A and B are shown apart, each in its own frame.
Chain A
Amino acid sequence: DGGITQSPKYLFRKEGQNVTLSCEQNLNHDAMYWYRQDPGQGLRLIYYSQIVNDFQKGDIAEGYSVSREKKESFPLTVTSAQKNPTAFYLCASSMWAKPNTEAFFGQGTRLTVV
């Protein structure tokens, strides 16, 4: 079945460490997105990518980095510069060239800084 796979489901990180969240999709979608979810704040866009080797900052990109070396993969690195990284992270994808289409979501990764 086609879909988006995020791993791991739970992740613990010590302060000062970088950590990478994985996101893979087999929907053949051009666009991929990373959102951060905190209680009461909805989903906030971190980064998005329209095509391979290209990505754009979203509303809260500081302290995060991404890469898009393959169409199927869009990993997110939470760096030590991110002051409050504990959150639920959601990856999504859509067909970029077709505006009237929805975003499909992975099951999320919960990151906790210990």
Chain B
Amino acid sequence: AQSVTQPDIHITVSEGASLELRCNYSYGATPYLFWYVQSPGQGLQLLLKYFSGDTLVQGIKGFEAEFKRSQSSFNLRKPSVHWSDAAEFFCAVGTANTGNQFYFGTGTSLTVIP
């Protein structure tokens, strides 16, 4: 069965510091991978996605993620965090075997310290 694990429930970083949010997935075929961001009380906004090709993908707001098949990981990174990046981040995997379904991790909450 498909699943997504985000091992870090909450992360706190200082403004200007680098950030890495971890995501591991379980899926038998080639996954379609996504990172979404959610501000409090809002819907989810797509940060970036990976379908195929270059394993390092660039997204909006200066975020990037690297797909590592050998580790079943799709970690999200940002070189320098801004206070406005504080939000909840969700990793998701999409499947193609039974139509287009999406499986989400439990999320990582990011706090940015001034």
Asked if B113 is an interface residue, CB under 8 A from chain A, the answer is: no
* 13 further A-B pairs in the complex, CB-CB below 8 A; given A40-B9, A105-B45: A33-B102, A40-B106, A40-B107, A42-B106, A48-B101, A94-B100, A94-B102, A99-B94, A100-B96, A103-B94, A103-B102, A105-B43, A107-B43
Q: If A96-B99, A99-B94, A99-B96 touch, does A108 touch B46 (CB 8 Å cutoff)?
A: no
How many A-B residue contacts, CB cutoff 8 Å?
A: 67
Q: If A40-B106, A42-B90, A99-B94 touch, does A110 touch B41 (CB 8 Å cutoff)?
A: yes
Contacts of B94 in A (CB 8 A): 99-103
Could you tell me if A107 and B42 are in contact, using CB atoms closer than 8 angstroms?
yes
User: Which of B's residues lie within 8 Å of A, judged by CB?
Assistant: 9, 32, 34, 36, 41-46, 49, 51-52, 90, 92, 94-96, 99-102, 104-107
Interface string of A80-95 (1 = CB under 8 A from B): 0000000010101011
> Interface residues of A toward B: which range?
20 to 34
Compute how far the CA of A106 lies from the CA of B36 in the bound complex, rounded to whole angstroms: 13
Q: Who on chain A is nearest to B46 by CB?
A: A102
Could you tell me if B100 and A42 are in contact, using CB atoms closer than 8 angstroms?
no
Asked if A21 is an interface residue, CB under 8 A from chain B, the answer is: no
Nearest Cβ in chain B — how far from A78, in angstroms?
18
Compute how far the CA of A6 lies from the CA of B43 in the bound complex, rounded to whole angstroms: 10
The 7 closest A-B pairs by CB, nearest first: A99-B96, A105-B43, A42-B106, A43-B104, A100-B51, A105-B44, A107-B43
Contacts of B99 in A (CB 8 A): 31, 50, 96, 99
Contact of A99 among B90, B100, B107 (CB under 8 A): B100
Compute how far the CA of A105 lies from the CA of B41 in the bound complex, rounded to whole angstroms: 13
Contacts of A104 in B (CB 8 A): 46
Contacts of A96 in B (CB 8 A): 99-100
